[in-house]
Each structure stands twice: as structure tokens, then as C-alpha cells.
Amino acid sequence: MEDERIVAGLHCGEVVADVTEYLEGRLSPQRAARIGEHLNGCDDCQRLAEEISAVVRALRALPEEPLPPEVEARLLASLGSTEAAPHG
Amino acid sequence: MVHADDARISDETLIGRVAAGDSSAFARLIRRHGAMVYRFARAAAPQETDCEEILREAFLAARRGAGRYRDEPSGRSWLLALARRAVERRSPRPGAGSASFGELARAAARRGPAAWDGSGGPAEAVAAALAALPAEDREILTLYDRELLTLDEVARVTGIADAALRTRLHRARLRLLAELKGALRGG
């Protein structure tokens, strides 16, 4: 990861700073195109972008832990909530 | 009163009913969002924190404050903001640091394997790497990348403005990558 390297007119450091915004599609079309061009010509930045994508996928794939039934029951009881049909 | 089509009742409607004293609506709100609030408490609070107590305080505050609910991005961000306040009352947290993106990226690159493609990272390893991060990082990754809140919603929960929030999200992802690669390498 060399900050001073320039590919497609952009320093790696600039690209590293924008990777999340690029992956999230929040950059202007012009900026995104330049970043894409840099990534195509820079193995280090390309790898980082792929790794960040993998991290995000891994986070989103983590199982969604439910509320333990005994915790829910204690919460409902302590807050004096009326039991309702168990859906929702 | 049983609502046969509960899924179609919006959070806003439920919160309005809670404000009017409908305890059945309050139970529904708990059933709908209790797990999310609990997961957030576990992610954002220090390990020794009683997250069940955070959960209770958040919903107690929700019941008390339901009448003032307005101009919120969503019901879930409102609830999570209440939970965050409960966490903060216990543990004013230091920031996660402000290392440059370049430093963080180099830290990730130094740690093997040379390139990580998402394989070889079982859920346990990802969860452990997430747990090893500073609270600020865990919080933002949990809200945005696990609970899939919008940036507006995360901003409401954390009180961090948009540009700073996006910077913190990026830093948190870089730190998680470094942590995960280090763990997968075994060091």
C-alpha cells in the first residue's frame, strides 16, 4: 500500500480514503469512474477494495441473534406490558 | 385486543398507541425491536455491562417518551438512540482513535493472508474480530453493516453528523479488516 503511487491521476492515498464511499455508490459518477480506473490499474488498491467488500459481506452474513425468550419474558413482566399475540 | 395483521402496523402507529397507554402495543413494540436493541446493547456496551438492564431502560424511556415522538428517521433509530443513552450513562467511551486511512490500510495489508476474499473466515472469527474493536467501531458497524440502518438513522442514534459518520464507518471497516486478517493468520 504505497500512498505516493499515482495511477489514473489519483494517489493511492486518495483512493484508500474513498473506498467505502465508492463501494456504497455515494461518489459522483465522475469521481467513481476515476476511482474505478485507478483500481483497474493498481493491485494494492484493488485488493483493499475487495477485502473491504468481503468484510461487509461477512458482517451482513453473521447470524441475527434473537432475544432470548427468558429475557423477553422478564422485560415484559418488569415493564408491566399486557401480553399480546406473539407475532410482530 | 389482538391485531391479526400486526406486520402492517407501522412503528409510528405502535408508538402512538403506546403514548395513549396501550400496553398491548407496547408489548408488540418490544417483540418487534427487542432483539435489535439487545444486540446493539451487547455490541456497544462494555463486556461486563448488564445488557438486559440497558434493554429495560431503553423501553422504559420509550414508554415515557412516546408522546414526544416526532420528526424521527424511524422508530428503530429512536429506540436505539434511547439504548445508546443508557449505555453512555454507564460508560462514557474513549474514541476509537483517528489514524489516517493510509495507516489503517497499511495495517490491514501487513497482516496475512496476503489477500482476503472472505473465505476461511467463519462467523465466529468475524464476531470475535468485531468484539475486539473499540466500542465506537463496534457500534457503527453493528448499526450500519449488521442492522442495516440508513446513514440518517445511524446519525440519529450516534449523534454524529453525516460526513464524520462516513469517515468513522470507513475507519471501522479498515480496523475490522486488520483485526480479522490478523486473527486468521493467527497473530
- pLDDT > 70: what percent of chain B? 86
Which amino acid is it at B96? Answer: A
Task: Say whether residue B178 is in contact with chain A using an 8 A CB cutoff.
Answer: no
Residue A3: strand, helix, or coil: coil
Q: Tell me the three-class secondary structure of A18-37, residue by residue.
A: HHHHHHCCCCCHHHHHHHHH
Cell numbers describing residue B59 = 423501553
Chain A nearest CA to B70, separation (Å) = 22
C-alpha radius of gyration, chain B, whole number:
18
- Report pLDDT digits (tens) over B19-54: 999 999 999 999 999 999 999 999 998 877 789 999
What is the CB neighbour count within 10 angstroms for residue B122?
11
Chain A nearest CA to B93, separation (Å) = 23
The reply to whether omega before B113 is within 30° of 0 (cis) is yes
Residues of A in contact with B43 (CB under 8 A): none
CB B55 within 8 A of CB B37: yes
d(CA A39, CA A51): 13
Helix (H) or strand (E) holding A10: strand A10-11
d(CA B75, CA B15): 8
d(CA B182, CA A80): 47
* pLDDT exceeds 70 at position B131: yes
For B35, residues 6+ apart whose C-beta sits below 8 A from its C-beta are: A64, A65, A66, A67
What is the CB neighbour count within 10 angstroms for residue B65?
14
pTM: 0.86
* DSSP labels, B45-74: S-TTS-HHHHHHHHHHHHHHHGGG--S-S-
Q: Inter-chain contact A54–B31, Cβ cutoff 8 Å?
A: no
Burial of B3 (0-12, 13-18, 19+ CB in 10 A): middle
Give the residue carrying C-alpha cell 467501531.
Answer: B137
Burial of B4 (0-12, 13-18, 19+ CB in 10 A): exposed
Report pLDDT for A85: 46
Give the residue carrying C-alpha cell 473499540.
Answer: B134
Give me the residues of B, 28-47, that contact A with CB < 8 A.
28, 30-32, 34-35, 38-39
Q: Inter-chain contact B39–A48, Cβ cutoff 8 Å?
A: no
* Higher pLDDT, residue A8 or B156: B156
Give the residue carrying C-alpha cell 464511499.
Answer: A21
Q: What tens-digit pLDDT sequence spans chain A (88 residues)? A: 555 688 888 999 999 999 999 999 999 999 999 999 999 999 999 999 999 999 999 999 999 999 999 999 999 999 876 554 454 4
